[in-house]
A and B are shown apart, each in its own frame.
Chain A
Amino acid sequence: MNKGFIESVFGYIGGVCLFLWTIITKLYQVPRSFKLIVNQIVSMGIGSLPIVVVVSLFMGMVTAYQAALQVGGYMPESYLGMAVAKALMIELGPLLTGLIVAGRVSSSLAAEIGTMKVTEQIDALESLAVDPIRYLAMPRFVSGLISLPILTVISELVGFFGGGLCAVLLFDIRPIVYIEGLRVNYFPHELWGGLLKALCFGFVIALMGTYYGFTTKGGAEGVGKAATKAVVSASILILFFDFLIAWIVF
């Protein structure tokens, strides 16, 4: 590793941290930007809902199917519900929701803001005495923090339902037995740890999307690059935080 590389890595981290800090200093203006935040939650959260629901449904079904297939003969029937619930809460719910939303939202955030950057719309905001970080970045950031945990809970519910369908239809397990599985070996920190992950993923998705948007240079080509970089870095950071939180919480 040469010196230039290390310098550029620290330069990058410093740049992201500085950007994050400018967003944080705008958080006190949340009440004033309420409408903007709600709009973002609608486009981020509601917009991502269909794909999250479809993916979660199948994910729950596959999880139940494999669990039943692998250990079906050896374990009590109520353990199937437990296995599905745990897999979803601890890992699959937050991670898949995070990766789906990263692909969908962080790229579109970067492209949207990047386009505004290269077409002088950000300069225009400044010239109208509207702070672009307060007007564009902060609402998207807050909305990411709110949307991801909510989407994750929905994903987990839908996934559990999908697993139930599979259990009931394919393995003749009574619905009540499957649902009772939720209570077997339940530890609250599994739910909260998963939601903490979701919060982190929302943070990462919004931060990477807005950061690459605001640092876009050049024309349409720069916008495309920004979108790609946002998705790639958000996905990598999501996997990193997934491991980090697993390590700390569990």
Chain B
Amino acid sequence: MIEIENLYKSFNGNDVLKGLSLKVKEGETTAVIGRSGCGKSVLLKHIIGLLRPDKGDVWVDGQNVKKLKRNELYKLRLKMGVVFQSSALLDSLSVGENVALGLTENIRISRARVREIVLEKLSLVELEGVEHKRISELSGGMKKRVAVARALAVNPSYILYDEPTTALDPITARTINELMLSLKKKIRITGIVVTHDMESAFYVADRIAMLHDGKIIFDGTPMEVQTTSDPIVQRFVKGGGKY
């Protein structure tokens, strides 16, 4: 379980998170929606301990992330896979090496076993025969899939997606949504999807939380999101307008 309590973060006087609280239950996928620049990526970075909160705590499986020592934090991160907004594949490595990185750098493991896992994860994201390709040869959608495979390589209990469908065409975005849904069903992974793509949120999420002005102002099932009378949420869901 991931629990975020009263999180505050500002960058040089720019208050981004102002008392954010959120619970993510085991086995569920939670979508965090909000406008561009509202601090969604900042929230994710707090969950994996890349940023330190000014105030408040992030609890992952009962551990307080900001209190962990470096090696403990690294151990915790092996339980979390992250798919970055820009995919963030290492372009000096091949596709296979990217997927294998978390394994080869952290665990004593035979080459044959690594290869096996790499192929398994790549087929899980429906990519075959690409492990020797260079990153620059891949399309945006393929990069996303490789990033998902890399995040899954260490068999994490959580997967965090940072805007998995933005910057993709509608059809590719759709296939990524299907992938996220099928992963949830196949490996019962707990997920957080940060996005401003409502279609994607409705497609994959069990719960949808809205981040606005540094706080979670709404948290409910997709059904509740559609029927809520909260004007800010309504505006966001319907698109357009000022809020």
Q: Interface of A with B (CB < 8 Å)?
A: 112, 116, 119-121, 123-131, 135
Contacts and interface: CB of A to CB of B under 8 A. Distances in A.
A128 B105 contact: yes
Q: Across the A-B interface, give the 5 residue pairs with the lowest CB-CB distance, nearest first.
A: A124-B88, A128-B102, A120-B88, A129-B74, A127-B82
Contacts of B50: 123, 126-127
B90 interface: yes
A contacts with B: majority SS: helix
Contact of B48 (A127, A130, A131): A127
A129 B105 contact: yes
Given A116-B90, A127-B48, A129-B106, 12 more contacts: A121-B88, A121-B89, A121-B90, A123-B50, A123-B88, A124-B88, A126-B50, A127-B50, A127-B82, A127-B84, A128-B101, A131-B70
A129 B102 contact: yes
A126 B48 contact: yes
Interface in B39-82: 45, 48, 50, 70, 74-75, 77-78, 80-82
Interface string B3-47: 000000000000000000000000000000000000000000100
Contacts of A116: 90
B108 to A, nearest CB: 11
Contact of A128 (B70, B77, B86, B92): B77
Given A120-B85, A135-B105, A127 B80 contact: yes
Contacts of A125: 90, 101
A115 B84 CA distance: 15
B236 to A, nearest CB: 25
B121 interface: no
B107 to A, nearest CB: 10
